[in-house]
Amino acid sequence: MGFFFSRKPAAKPASLTFTLSGAGHVYDDGHVGLNPTNLTITEKRVAIIGLNGSGKSTLLGLLDGSLTPSAGTVTITGVGTDGDPASPTLSTSSKRDLKTVDEWVGKVRREEIPNVFYRAENITQAVDESLKKHKIADAERAARIGNLFAHFGLQRMRKTKAAELDSEKRHLLAIAAALAFDPAAIVADEPSKGLDEIGTRHVAEALFTYDKQVIVATHDTDMIVRPEYAIDRTLVLDAQHVVFDGSPADAVAFYMDLIRKRYEAAKSAA
């Protein structure tokens, strides 16, 4: 008679180390989303920039477990408050590990919120119902929602239907909803896309002043270099490769030069 020993639930880490070892992804239609890449991310604030189709969203999908690598591996290691690695190391290719990955990594896709949120009586009920499914106690749910709504400027809208929110508030709700489960890190794909300068600033301030590790893809180069957002590291992607890895200011300079060269090449070919 055999015995099955299930893995004990891992304690929620303070931050995460993401490691890509030769990891890449090819979509079902044969399109290359990201070429095999070696990359380790430990920093608290990491930005990813690049032209449309450069591989940013694919890289984020590999980091947060929504995409499985076609080549290589993606692993996530929890780091405790003392800075030491916490066990176990998770593999995004392991179905057994993906549930824990979902608990450790919050996903933000622009202003996208779960469809069930639109069927709820108001946004408070929407977030509360999602937390109930995770068997979080009443008092803890209320405290989390209250703190998040206060931080993201949603307190006055707590009794508002999701469909009645303006675009900026939907962007903020998408982030708050991802944070409601208290993940160790947030992976955000263009969390301010489509907003004007004021709306973008509100979203960026709320996101970067919340005490969580953040990996964000954006086209907003001004956001990246603002000192108050304290971006530690910036990656530039081009043609499904990481082509630059360094400080925000240096990365933006590299990116602007890349755009200039692309424009001049297109002009010459015309």
Domain extents in the chain: 15-112+183-269
- The angle subtended at Cα 104 by Cα 37 and Cα 88, nearest 5°, is 75
- 117-159 pLDDT tens trace: 999 999 999 999 989 988 889 999 999 999 999 999 999 999 9
Q: What is the mean pLDDT of residues 5-16?
A: 66
| Confidence label for 4 from pLDDT (cuts 50, 70 and 90) | very low
Instruction: Mark 159-176 as b/e (b = at least 16 C-beta within 10 Å).
Output: ebbbeebeebbbbbbbbb
- 182-197 pLDDT tens trace: 999 999 999 999 999 9
* Rounded Cα gap, residues 189 and 231, in angstroms: 16
Output the pLDDT for position 241.
97
Output the pLDDT for position 262.
87
| Confidence label for 263 from pLDDT (cuts 50, 70 and 90) | confident
Beta pairing partners, 109: 189
- 72-111 pLDDT tens trace: 999 999 988 766 766 679 999 999 999 999 999 999 998 8
Q: What is the mean pLDDT of residues 163-179?
A: 96
- This prediction's pTM: 0.91
Output the pLDDT for position 11.
66
Q: Does domain 15-112+183-269 sit in CATH 1.10.510.10?
A: no
Q: What is the mean pLDDT of residues 237-261?
A: 96
Do residues 171 and 91 lie in contact, with contact meaning Cβ atoms separated by under 8 Å?
Answer: no
Output the pLDDT for position 160.
97
- Strand, helix or coil for residue 78: strand
43 pLDDT more than 60:
yes
Output the pLDDT for position 2.
44
Beta pairing partners, 241: 238
